[in-house]
Amino acid sequence: MQIIMKKLALGALLVVLSLRVSAQSNSSEIYLLDIIQKDGKHLATSPYRVTQNDYYDNQPCFSADGQFLYFVARPDTIQSDIYEFHIKKKIMRQVTNTPESEYQPQLIPFAKDKISAVIVEMEGAQKLYGMKLDGSNYVLLMPNEDSLAYYCWMNDTTVGAFMLNGAGGTLHQFDMIPQQSIILMEGGFGRCLAVIPGTNILTYVQKGSDGKNTLMRYDMSNEERMPMLEFPEGVEDYCWGPKDLIFCSDKGILYMYDTKIEDTKWIPIGDFSETIGTFYRMSMNATGDKIAIVTYKGEKP
């Protein structure tokens, strides 16, 4: 498989997103934060810088046991690879080393020793592949789909997928057995897709014409869609933690929202605006005591 990174040409949106990817040489770094409880309150403390460079490091995700952090790094403007970081031992390992570009690493639910990723092919197609954690044995998981931008696993055989179709993209529930999808939304939604821990419920951000972003939930068992909460203005990246907690950031501050409490609000649990600066994408481990965040300089990648 000889694959290289090329600018995409799948319509206006695809061109815009491709140019955005090319521009992601802007410095972004990955930090780990500890989440502790003190006097009955959650606090984010002890920032640890995982990546030590001045290029693109992004899209972190934890292993199921929380021992490892996976992410993508691109030392130039052409090609990215997947890396693994052993959190306790502080050891970095390169998982892939190919002429293609891998993005969006996620652990595959049904396979402890495999990871999935979006790969940009030579012709410009963006497809979902699975591979072993040593970077071998590539398997095409969605062979008939060639414009995948973002995704998340909903269960062992289903993903929520942001496809680069139409002016604003389309949000799909894609079932691998059989290979077919249901269109959930056309345009007006964000890139961050996630599943509520312990469920098959997909959450995504619906962008309002008034500039407000709303977190939506989609239950694949009955195809019901409902709004859950509103984000701070301009925020569209978030992650779920255990016990129905959700996290986001704004201007260098980490916020938490407890969805179990009625009439609650976003609570600041850590201000890092003067230490590590602004950050956006994030991922939390299964036990909820560590969160990985992506910092950036200048414009948001």
Residue with tokens 């049904």: 110
Which amino acid type is present at position 62?
F
- pLDDT number for residue 120: 93
Q: Cα-flanking dihedrals φ and ψ of residue 169, to 5°?
A: 80, 170
- pLDDT number for residue 1: 41
How many domains, the chain?
1
- pLDDT number for residue 114: 94
Three-point CA angle 20, 25, 30, nearest 5°: 105
Q: Is residue 220 part of a domain?
A: yes
Q: Is residue 5 part of a domain?
A: no
Measured torsion, CA atoms of residues 266, 270, 274, 280, in degrees rounded to the nearest 10: -60
C-alpha to C-alpha distance for 190 and 205, rounded to whole angstroms? 5
Both structure tokens of 55: 């290029």
- pLDDT number for residue 26: 65
Q: Is residue 177 part of a domain?
A: yes
Distance of CA 162 to the CA centre of its chain: 12
The residue segments making up the domain with residue 96 are: 12-296
Both structure tokens of 203: 């959450």
Q: Cα-flanking dihedrals φ and ψ of residue 283, to 5°?
A: -150, 140
Q: Is residue 106 part of a domain?
A: yes
Instruction: Output the domain CATH number for residue 184.
Output: 2.120.10.30
Gyration radius of the chain over CA positions: 18
The pTM score is 0.90
| SS3 per residue for the chain | CCCCCCCCCCCHHHHHHHHHHHHHHCCEEEEEEEEEEECCEEEEEEEEECCCCCCEEEEEEECCCCCEEEEEEECCCCCCEEEEEECCCCEEEECCCCCCEEEEEEECCCCCCEEEEEEECCCCCEEEEEEECCCCCCEECCCCCCEEEEEEECCCCEEEEEECCCCCCEEEEEECCCCEEEEEEECCECCCCEECCCCCCEEEEEECCCCCEEEEEEECCCCEEEEEEECCCCCCCCEECCCCEEEEEECCEEEEEECCCCCCCCEEEEECCCCCCCEEEEEECCCCCEEEEEEECCCCC
Q: Is residue 301 part of a domain?
A: no
Strand order in the sheet with 148-153: 148-153, 158-163, 170-175, 180-186
Strands 290-296 and 279-284: antiparallel
Q: Is residue 30 part of a domain?
A: yes
Q: Is residue 4 part of a domain?
A: no
Q: Is residue 2 part of a domain?
A: no
Q: What is the mean pLDDT of each run of 10 residues along the chain (301 residues)?
A: 35 35 64 96 97 92 96 86 97 94 94 93 91 93 95 97 91 95 95 96 94 95 96 96 97 97 96 97 98 91 80
Distances (CA, A) of 72 to 37, 51, 57, 97, 106: 30, 11, 6, 11, 11
C-alpha to C-alpha distance for 217 and 219, rounded to whole angstroms? 7
- pLDDT number for residue 301: 80
